[in-house]
Amino acid sequence: MTFRPPLRLAECRSVTVVARLAHGAVLDSEWPAPLDGILSAVKRRAILGDSYGDGVDLSADQQEFLRQQRSRPGGRRTRVEPGRPGWLSEVDRHRRTVPLPLAVIGWQHFRGDERGPTVGAQWVWAASCAFWDGDERDLRYWHSRFGHQRAEEVCRDKLPPMVYETHGRYRAYRMPMVVTLATELRWRAVGDPDKLAELCRQVYQIGKKRSQGEGRVLGWSVIDEGPPDLTWPLWTPDGRIARPVPVRMAAWLGLDNPPVTSGAIRPPYWRPPPGMDGDAKHRQWRQIIAPGTPRPVHSHA
Amino acid sequence: MHDRNRVERQRGRIADRPEHALRARLREHQARVARTLDVIHDWLDRYPDTYVAWSGGKDSTALAHLANIVKPGIPIVHYDSGLDFPETGPYLAEVATRYRFRYESIRTGDALEEMIRGGTWDHEADGGYDPAVFWDALVAGPHREARRRYGDGMLIGLRAEESAKRHRTLRWHHGELHRPDGTHSCAPLGLWTTADVWAYHHVHGIPEHPVYTRLVELGAPDSALRLDVAIGSNANQYGRLMWLRRGWPELWRRYQQVLPRLKEMS
């Protein structure tokens, strides 16, 4: 199943996406809230429709794949069952990349757009991670404790003889979380402004611990910044690399031996992508340019 | 807004903070140090074949410094489980050279391998977890080897203030533990406060472990300024893995790739 970028570069505009926050958000320290990740989650929810989050979080394609796997006579029996640990990793390699109203960087040769690099499968969405003004942070905690009384009422027969709160699965938690204090988060992107605004409007909260009220968004705006420029989403205003970019794009960016780290280059960012041959059983992080890498002074990108 | 919890960017060494510098000048602190030197002296009279267990944390580093004053050349042993922070090895070597410790690092197994093999950190693993095997790689194996080399006595940096369990243990046994297997351990810093330890570091200018420096940069509260192996089963419910993820992202990704369930506690 081949992925085709949904937009030509000529159909796109350089934009700044702004989210007004109620009181900050819990963000990743390296690559905070990639815009393509947020939009992919929204789009995926729309694609899955009613089956989203009901425990059988599979698209029609994936369900058909599983059905075929199970019914194939003499074929490999998969131990994967929806709801069982491990089921997602088995079907992921057959999941299509969710199409977004963004340009892609890395497919320029195939798309006939001449202003970007051609790096084959290691393409990235033309969208940055979040940046914001100031450097204020707050340390908040979330807590979790086993409800003995409720458990007695609901499942007395199934409880173990002793429920320990100091260790094991019922342990009590007091977990810190670093909250970024900002009134606005901003992203740079190249895409279709109207469709981006439409998708963004479906996002009400950003970051971790949304169910606890963190990361509440008051409103979105998409500001048109002019003709499409693929370097626009790759650097923050203060000249740092703004999103995970594969190392093989370094030369195009004008970087000579940049610091390298590992990570994902496309959503979902929380999980190692499948191996180069698409093997979801052997996932591995990609080599990417390290966060904080400064923009070269003289570069065409 | 929770101003009380606002992350303040502390500058400089933790040991040189004003509260620790002032603590160092208190007669109470100085008396506590003198009493500890007496305790170590007395212990070494009773158990001359003793070594110091040194993790590189603030407590065991202060203890190693004290023990080396009482008995220069006392064996100081690090249990290398394979799960240390990358900064720990160079830090131990630096401190050992500066204070002329008779320092040795002992490794008998790979605790990370045991965690992977055990399967408790991977939903898809089929392995059977044996806590004894993991414990052997983490502590028991190096301890056995250190005992064989240096004797049955051991000085450890446990403090009552660290947890309720340690408080009970140290109070009940008056800071000494005599185990059925014939080993004898003593916690001379049992009644020290955290401020006492940092004050001792301040007075002697002991280098700060880079892990503490990094945790302060990240905005970790003082209660999170503890050094242990990078990953393990202790204190995960208090956000230990969250700090690892924020402060050592590359190390975190390496661990998470082989132990996927770490993510559930970060």
Q: Are A199 and A43 in contact (CB under 8 A)?
A: yes
Q: What's the Rg (C-alpha) of chain B?
A: 19
Residues of B in contact with A86 (CB under 8 A): 123-124
Strand bridging mode B75-79 / B50-53:
parallel
CB atoms under 10 Å from CB of A134, counted, come to 9
Amino acid at A28: D
Find the mean pLDDT for residues B155-170.
Answer: 88
Confidence of residue A90 (pLDDT cuts 50, 70, 90): very low
* Predicted pLDDT of residue A238: 93
Which residues constitute the domain of residue A5? 1-47+101-134+182-301
DSSP-derived secondary structure for B196-226: HHHHHHHHHTPPPPHHHHHHHHHT--GGG--
* ipTM reported for the complex surpasses 0.95: no
User: Are residues A175 and B263, on separate chains, in Cβ contact within 8 Å?
Assistant: no
Find the mean pLDDT for residues B163-183.
Answer: 85
- A122 and A237, same domain (yes or no): yes
- A201 and A245, same domain (yes or no): yes
* Predicted pLDDT of residue B167: 87
A15 versus A10: which is more confidently predicted?
Answer: A15
Find the mean pLDDT for residues B73-79.
Answer: 96
- A193 and A146, same domain (yes or no): no
Question: Among A147-161, A216-230, B204-218, which is the least confidently predicted range?
Answer: A147-161
The answer to the question of residue A193 being in a domain is yes
Residues of B in contact with A175 (CB under 8 A): 237-239, 242
* Predicted pLDDT of residue A240: 95
Answer yes or no: is pLDDT of A263 > 80.
yes
Answer yes or no: is pLDDT of B221 > 80.
yes
- A31 and A163, same domain (yes or no): no
Nearest CB partner across the interface for B253, out of A140, A181, A263:
A263
The answer to the question of residue A85 being in a domain is no
Q: Are A61 and A54 in contact (CB under 8 A)?
A: no
List pLDDT tens digits, range A152-171. Answer: 888 878 888 888 888 777 88
User: Are residues B249 and A29, on separate chains, in Cβ contact within 8 Å?
Assistant: yes
- Mean pLDDT, chain B, rounded, equals 89
Nearest CB partner across the interface for B2, out of A30, A86, A140:
A140
Closest to A117 in 3D by CA, of A104, A106, A102: A106
User: CA nearest A165 in B: which residue?
Assistant: B237
- A29 and A165, same domain (yes or no): no
User: Which among A181, A214, A236 is the end of a domain?
Assistant: A181
* Predicted pLDDT of residue A67: 65
Could you tell me the residue ranges of all domains in chain B?
Answer: 16-205
Using a CB–CB cutoff of 8 Å, tell me whether B223 touches chain A.
Answer: no
List pLDDT tens digits, range B77-130. Answer: 999 999 999 999 999 999 999 999 999 999 988 888 888 888 777 766 666 677
Answer yes or no: is pLDDT of B215 > 90.
yes
Looking at chain B, how many residues does it have?
266
Answer yes or no: is pLDDT of B7 > 60.
no
* Predicted pLDDT of residue A166: 80
Euclidean distance between CA atoms A80 and A67, whole angstroms: 11
Residue B166, exposed/middle/buried by CB under 10 A (0-12, 13-18, 19+)?
Answer: middle
The answer to the question of residue A8 being in a domain is yes
Angle at the Cα of B216 from the Cα atoms of B265 and A178, rounded to 5 degrees: 45
- A2 and A127, same domain (yes or no): yes
Answer yes or no: is pLDDT of A89 > 50.
no
* Predicted pLDDT of residue A93: 40
H/E element, B37: helix B27-46
* Predicted pLDDT of residue A233: 96
A171 versus A183: which is more confidently predicted?
Answer: A183
* Predicted pLDDT of residue A277: 62
Answer yes or no: is pLDDT of A91 > 60.
no
- A110 and A213, same domain (yes or no): yes
User: Are residues A86 and B124, on separate chains, in Cβ contact within 8 Å?
Assistant: yes
Is the pTM for the entire model greater than 0.90? no
- A37 and A112, same domain (yes or no): yes
- A233 and A194, same domain (yes or no): yes
The answer to the question of residue A259 being in a domain is yes
Topology of the domain comprising B16-205: Rossmann fold (3.40.50)
- A163 and A39, same domain (yes or no): no
* Predicted pLDDT of residue A111: 59
Closest to B106 in 3D by CA, of B132, B144, B82, B77: B77
The answer to the question of residue A152 being in a domain is yes
- A216 and A232, same domain (yes or no): yes
Confidence of residue B259 (pLDDT cuts 50, 70, 90): confident
Q: How many CB pairs under 8 A join A and B?
A: 66
- A1 and A15, same domain (yes or no): yes
Answer yes or no: is pLDDT of B134 > 80.
yes
